[in-house]
Amino acid sequence: MTVDLTSGRKGAKFGKGFSAVMVGQKWAIEQLSKIATVHTRLGWQTSNLRKHLGLEKSKDKAEQTPESHANDGITLACFRFLDYLPFHTSNYHGHDWKGSVEVTDAPFTIIKRPPISRRQLHLMVPSKGGKRRKYGGSTTRHEFRKGDLVSSHKGVGYVSGDTEKQLSVSDANWKQLGQIAVSKIQLIRRSNGLIVSH
């Protein structure tokens, strides 16, 4: 297993050189080393191989693209087959890439949790009869639950809410496709707490 070491001031516990990512990375390396051999690489090593492979890098983590989330992982995996090693001949010496790897296109999938509101009963004032208006939660008044993957005439989407006779169906970005009659919706898969988009 190859891990890219996060840069930062060594041993920093606060201030400019401190990074919560470094704390998590140290813990992850300790845990991984209990089950497999861990090879670490420095950021500049990963950068050099990524450039050699012709892979782009985006530092904007808000971008949901391979350039911001996947290419460093692909590069680290390639270190098992390709490395920048010293060489000596009768006339020359230096470093060069040894080994080979072919990077091919692959699907890039974004997996996230649905933005379902938790129930907030303490915020609701009971109406007459002592009943509170329903707010949040994962259930609907129909046989569907929020986050269920469903099919309708407006397309495939996720149950995101309900009214007395309709369900709100949203796409993977949680943008509403429409409010659709329950009778016109077919369940594809029960909610597993994740939204998958390609």
pLDDT of the residue at 114: 85
Q: Phi and psi (nearest 5°) for 96?
A: -155, 160
Q: Which residue is associated with the tokens 């813990």?
A: 27
pLDDT of residue 161: 85
> Considering Cα of 54, then 38, then 70, then 101, what sign does the dihedral take?
positive
Residue 191 CB burial class (10 angstroms; 0-12, 13-18, ≥19): middle
Rg (CA), the chain: 25
Predicted TM-score of the model (pTM): 0.63
Token pair belonging to 120: 């907030």
Amino acid 183: pLDDT: 92
- What are the angstrom distances between the C-alpha of 63 and each of 22, 59, 66, 111? 22, 9, 9, 14
Tell me which DSSP letter residue 81 carries. T
Distance CA 181, CA 154 (A): 11
List, run by run, the mean pLDDT of 10-residue segments along the chain (198 residues).
61 63 86 93 92 92 87 93 90 92 91 77 63 63 87 93 90 92 93 87
| Tens-digit pLDDT profile for residues 117-156 | 666 666 556 666 666 655 556 677 788 888 899 999 999 9
Give the domains, in start order, of the chain with CATH numbers: 2-106 (no CATH), 112-197 (2.30.30)
Question: CB–CB of 195/158 below 8 Å?
Answer: yes
**Three-class SS state of 14:** coil
CB 194, CB 109: distance < 8 Å: no
Query: What is the sign, positive or negative, of the torsion defined by CA atoms of 168, 170, 174, 176?
Result: negative
36: three-class secondary structure by DSSP? coil
* Each residue's pLDDT tens digit, 112-127: 888 876 666 665 566 6
pLDDT at 20: 75
How many Å apart are CA 45 and CA 83, to the nearest integer?
Answer: 9
Cβ contact 116:134 at 8 Å: no
